[in-house]
Structure 1
Amino acid sequence: MTIFLSALQHYAFCPRQCALIHNEQVWAENYLTAQGAVLHERVDSGVTETRKNIRYERSVHVSSEKLDLAGILDMLEHNLQTGTLKPIEYKRGKPKPTLIDEIQLCAQALCLEEMLNQKIDEGALWYQQTRHRIPILFTDQLRTKTLTIIEQVHRLLESGKTPLPTYSKQCKACSLFEFCQPQLFNNDKSISYVANLFTVQDNLEQLMDDA
């Protein structure tokens, strides 16, 4: 089962969100996803160009048969003098406290390495909110974390099961918040109510048997 690169970021953000989008085909826009879509339209609309011995290729399709992974990276910088390649990912907001973006970028590099049989040591993340590019080294630690996430996503999506919602502060930034309704689920007492009914019934039967 081939998974999309975007599924890795969805999983790192929330496994339930990942299953809803990629297994149940649920999607909804909010102002954050809309801004991201506009940004990528601008990035992806550009043509291939070369400046100062750097070739810039946009909307590059990548895949890995070994990892059953496929997707599109925003930009690939090819240094024509050294031959080095550098994947670049554009993001709407600002750097995150987690490795969500780094994992997606590293997965792109893993795909490129398999396709081109070439080691890729680093890439970069560009954030619209800060207008700043951050270099990302593909260390052994980041590669291991990325491979772990890829494996976990495969297991989740192949299981066909959607995790139950768990409310956290980041839920309000999710475009599927209204569909997921994690707060309502956490306040739902029906499961415990039904369980208590069976407990009461079992206790009554036990009393009758003892009598």
Structure 2
Amino acid sequence: MYDEDDYLQLSGIQHFAFCRRQWALAYIEMQWQENVRTVEGKILHENAHDPGLKEKRGDLLIVRAMPVHSCEMGVSGECDVVEFHRVKEGISLHGKEGFYRVVPIEYKRGKPKEGEEDILQLAAQAFCLEEMLCCEIEYGYLYYGEVRRRHKVEFDNAIREKVKQIFAEMHKYYEQQYTPKVKIRRKCNACSLKDICLPVLNKNKLVAEYITKRMQEEENL
């Protein structure tokens, strides 16, 4: 169990899974830059993250920008949307009649990705909800703005263990204030922190070694 002062941002798991260095630069060194992708994603989330919007559609209750946390994983954040479906067997909600099934929904720009970063973030939200509401959540949805439809994600034991392991690793990096090196990959070109990260300099040598070599070359001219 973690103290609240040690909580990490839940959304960081997406960045960590994409690139550990990107996460460390943003969440440990507090460096960030916007690009087209991050701006589009922010606009999409602003439409979903309106805490003033709570809808009741028959047996369906929709809550937006719901704060969540987990003492076990040591994280906190917000769910874009959480749907509460009225069912015969489920959890009870304060001030509401009957029982409900909990379904988290995360909004993303673009279309479904090859990697599992989005899946891990959604799963982390679900596990926070499970801890807070004392329930079990079997699935959730990722909504992609480009294709305008939901993608169902089931939370099996493998994804549950992976989320816990990743958060444990994130806590370790954060405690050590450690920013790892990076290997150049094709996805580096799409990273908003490319100019800060300077992946080319980290390809085969340390930055200090690079600078020393360039100074020596200048002296020999």
Q: TM-score range by the shorter chain?
A: 0.7 to 0.9
Query: Which of 75, 89, 97 pairs up with 2:114?
Result: 97
Please give the TM-score of this superposition, normalised by the length of structure 2. 0.83
The DSSP-based 3-state class of the residue aligned with 1:162 is coil
Q: Percent identity?
A: 38
Moved more, 15-24 or 75-84: 75-84
1:18 aligned partner, one-letter code: W
The DSSP-based 3-state class of the residue aligned with 2:15 is helix
The DSSP-based 3-state class of the residue aligned with 2:137 is coil
2:27 aligned partner, one-letter code: H
Could you tell me how far 1:106 is from its partner in structure 2? 0.7
Which runs of no fewer than 5 residues in structure 2 stay unpaired?
A: 1-5, 89-99, 214-221
**Compared CA separation, residues 68 and 137, structure 1 to 2 (3 A):** same
Pairs aligned (count): 195
Residue 142 of structure 1 aligns with which residue?
A: 159
1:191 aligns with 2:191: no
Structure with greater helix percent: 1
Residue 61 of structure 1 aligns with which residue?
A: 67
CA contact (8 A) 2:68 2:125 kept: yes
- The CA deviation string for residues 50-82 of structure 1, in whole angstroms up to 9 with x for no partner, is 113110000000001121110001000001234
| Larger gyration radius, structure 1 or structure 2 | 1
Residue 93 of structure 2 aligns with which residue?
A: none
Moved more, 137-146 or 56-65: 137-146
Could you tell me how far 1:187 is from its partner in structure 2? 6.3
Aligned structure 1 segments of 4 or more residues deviating by more than 6 angstroms: 192-195
Query: Which of 13, 21, 28 pairs up with 2:26?
Result: 21
Please give the TM-score of this superposition, normalised by the length of structure 1. 0.87
Could you tell me how far 1:194 is from its partner in structure 2? 7.2
CA distance in 1, matches of 2:212, 2:189: 30
CA contact (8 A) 2:13 2:166 kept: yes
RMSD over aligned CA atoms reads: 1.9
CA contact (8 A) 2:201 2:210 kept: no
**Compared CA separation, residues 2 and 133, structure 1 to 2 (3 A):** same
CA distance in 2, matches of 1:148, 1:66: 12
